[in-house]
Amino acid sequence: MAFSSQNAENLILSLGGKGRFQLTILFLAAFTYVPLVLNHVIMAFHGSPIPHKCMVGSGSVIDTNLTSLAGPRYLTSGTEAYVTNLTHSECSTTVGYSDGQQKIIKCKSDQWKYTPKHVHRNIVSQFDLVCSKKYLVSLATTIYFTGVMLGGLVFGDLADRFGRLPVMLFTLYASIVVGLATAFSVSYAMFVCLRFVHGVLIQGLQTSAYTLLMELFGPKDRPFAGIVAELFFGVAFMVLGGLAYLLRDWQHLQIAASLVAVVTVFYPWVVPESLRWLIMKGKTEEAEKQIQRICKTNKIPFPAECWGLLKDSMAGQAKTVRQHNLTHLFRSRPMTKISLICFYLWFTMSVSYYGLTFKMTSFKGNPYLNFFISGLVESFTYLACIPLMNKFGRRKPLMYSFACGGVMCLSSGLINSFTSGLDHLVTGFALTGKCSMACCFATFFVYASELYPTAVRNIGLGAGMFFARFGSVMAPQINQWADLLLGIDGILIFGVLAVAASVLVYPLPETHQKHLADSLGEAGEPAGGAEVARLNTEEEHEMENRAVEA
């Protein structure tokens, strides 16, 4: 008997849907988003600007020659000129002499005085990342997301080969150790190296945890599962806003953000491996034990008929199971089209979302309150995505969310670039655009996981995350260089990308209420377009008629 993904889908549906077991594992897996998000956006506070001045010679006495400060100056009469004033700016000190001449002295390490407004101490003040070293702040974020970008590829493949659970647990606990070590960085080089490693681990955590929780449910409940995961994204923003408000020293904030994950210490004894992955790998005994555990927890009878049909097909599957890799995403024209469009969508969502996120501390208002409100509004946005996806599917909500986000970003960028005195309007449009991008993330995480078959789902999501994190890598650089090179707000670039993304969503197939494909052969057909969707619908009607006749 050939392996059937429909048999696997029927088994998943027979295990209680949103039962006690599924909901428990869903919330446990989704909680990993909190430490994940804290580390993704913590640089908004670690690298926030702190007012500063170059204080060279600040302890010197005026009306002396200050030879050690600027060197002696001599009048035409041969007498030595004396210093009349010192003017301290952000990057240098201007020495004024009695003969009217001036000399500018640039600051060196430990010669700046910081006057914190919100953050008491962060990497900017600890490592003097100001003036000619200011670019190192955005570079630190870029280096972190470069690690995230690499982690999506590395751990996506490992999770498909060795299982979702071991990858999730390893990356979760290893990230605690690396996060704590980061807090004790004694140099900028040490800080960014540890952040890079942390980024690699964090992305492995996100990819494996999300795949594990999505594979718990059938088609009707997958949007619910995806939105619950995204809700923790909004919760993490609120948590970070609160922690940063209470802990104004970056080292204390880093330690607290790392220790959040300690509460998951019991996960190895509670969270199981993905049942769908066990089935795909032909691990009959492990799969049956997990089914029994699910039935006991949900207080439902063992689905002997569904399991018998699937077990028979798994006998052949175990012998013929093969390993897949990145190249399998491009083995057919439909899969190639899906992959290329998805890669662009991942990039656009990420570059826009994180570009707006890292600008939040520069928006008008209290940065801690901005973060908290942003997380609160995003949480409501995620909740709104559930009925939208259930009623309109995946494609339309995604398309309109991109369009709305693009228009909001363009409006905010144009107002900020060509007008003045409308700061609140700029902030409002920008935050609306950010929430639209959050809605895109919530919808597309569900959509993308349904577009790829089980055989390469983690590889597809991992590759998509690579492009998403490439967007994250570029976000701080676009924010920094758009104004310097083009004289415009970087939000304008995000807007153009988002509008283009809304157009590219249209050719993708709708996956609403379709069973998850398991093999590459199955995945190729749904990507074919409307004709295949029509055939799938006819097949479903035929199955319903047979059931009625029976």
The DSSP element (H or E) to which 105 belongs, if any, is strand 102-106
The structural domain count of the chain equals 2
Distances (CA, A) of 520 to 68, 145, 309, 440, 528: 74, 30, 21, 26, 13
**Which residue, of 86, 114, 142, is where some domain finishes?**
114
Q: Specify the CATH number for the domain of residue 345.
A: 1.20.1250.20
Tell me if 405 is assigned to some domain: yes
HSE value, Cβ hemisphere, 13 Å, CA-based, for 52? 27
Tell me if 548 is assigned to some domain: no
* Torsion sign, CA atoms 49, 50, 53, 56: negative
pTM: 0.78
**Which residue, of 114, 132, 152, is where some domain finishes?**
114
Are 324 and 423 found together in one domain?
Answer: yes
Are 280 and 325 found together in one domain?
Answer: yes
Are 405 and 297 found together in one domain?
Answer: yes
Q: What span, in angstroms and rounded, lies between the C-alpha atoms of 398 and 388?
A: 10
Over 260-322, what HEC string results? Answer: HHHHHCCHHHHCCCCHHHHHHCCCHHHHHHHHHHHHHHHCCCCCHHHHHHHHHHHHHHHHHCC
Are 448 and 517 found together in one domain?
Answer: yes
How far does CA 144 lie from the centroid of its chain? 12
Residue 213 phi/psi, 5-degree rounding, is -75, -35
Are 71 and 212 found together in one domain?
Answer: no
Are 221 and 102 found together in one domain?
Answer: no
Are 411 and 272 found together in one domain?
Answer: yes
Tell me if 477 is assigned to some domain: yes
Tell me if 550 is assigned to some domain: no
List per-residue pLDDT tens for the chain, 550 residues long: 444 566 777 778 788 778 899 999 999 999 999 999 999 989 988 988 787 777 766 555 455 555 445 555 544 444 566 666 777 776 777 777 766 677 777 777 777 777 777 667 888 888 888 887 888 988 999 999 889 888 877 887 788 888 899 999 999 999 999 999 999 999 999 999 999 999 999 989 988 898 888 888 887 787 788 788 888 888 898 999 899 989 988 999 999 999 999 999 999 999 999 888 888 888 888 888 888 898 888 888 887 777 776 776 665 554 555 566 677 777 778 788 888 999 999 999 999 999 988 887 777 777 888 888 888 888 888 888 878 888 888 889 999 999 999 999 999 888 887 777 787 888 888 888 988 998 898 888 778 878 887 667 767 877 887 788 789 889 888 888 777 677 677 888 999 999 999 999 998 888 776 666 655 555 545 433 443 344 344 433 443 343 333 3
371: how many CB neighbours lie within 10 A of its CB? 26
Q: What span, in angstroms and rounded, lies between the C-alpha atoms of 250 and 121?
A: 6
Are 297 and 228 found together in one domain?
Answer: yes
Give the CA dihedral 385, 390, 393, 398, nearest 10 degrees.
0
Tell me if 501 is assigned to some domain: yes
Are 73 and 205 found together in one domain?
Answer: no
17: how many CB neighbours lie within 10 A of its CB? 16
Residue 71 phi/psi, 5-degree rounding, is 85, 155
Query: Running DSSP on this structure, what letter comes out for residue 249?
Result: B
Q: What span, in angstroms and rounded, lies between the C-alpha atoms of 203 and 118?
A: 30
Are 96 and 162 found together in one domain?
Answer: no
* Distance between start and end Cα atoms, the chain: 23
Are 73 and 137 found together in one domain?
Answer: no
The DSSP element (H or E) to which 392 belongs, if any, is helix 367-392
**Which residue, of 68, 95, 114, is where some domain finishes?**
114
Q: Name all contacts of 79-88 with Cβ < 8 Å and 24+ positions apart.
A: 86/57, 86/58, 86/60, 86/62, 88/53, 88/54, 88/55, 88/56, 88/58
Tell me if 545 is assigned to some domain: no
Give the CA dihedral 185, 172, 136, 47, nearest 10 degrees.
-80
Tell me if 103 is assigned to some domain: yes
Tell me if 549 is assigned to some domain: no
Are 94 and 219 found together in one domain?
Answer: no
Q: Which residues of 446-475 are buried (b: 16+ CB within 10 A; e: fewer)?
A: bbbbbbbbbbbbbbbbbbbbbbbbbbbbbb
Domain hosting 384: range is 5-50+121-539
Contact predicate 382/442, CB 8 Å: yes
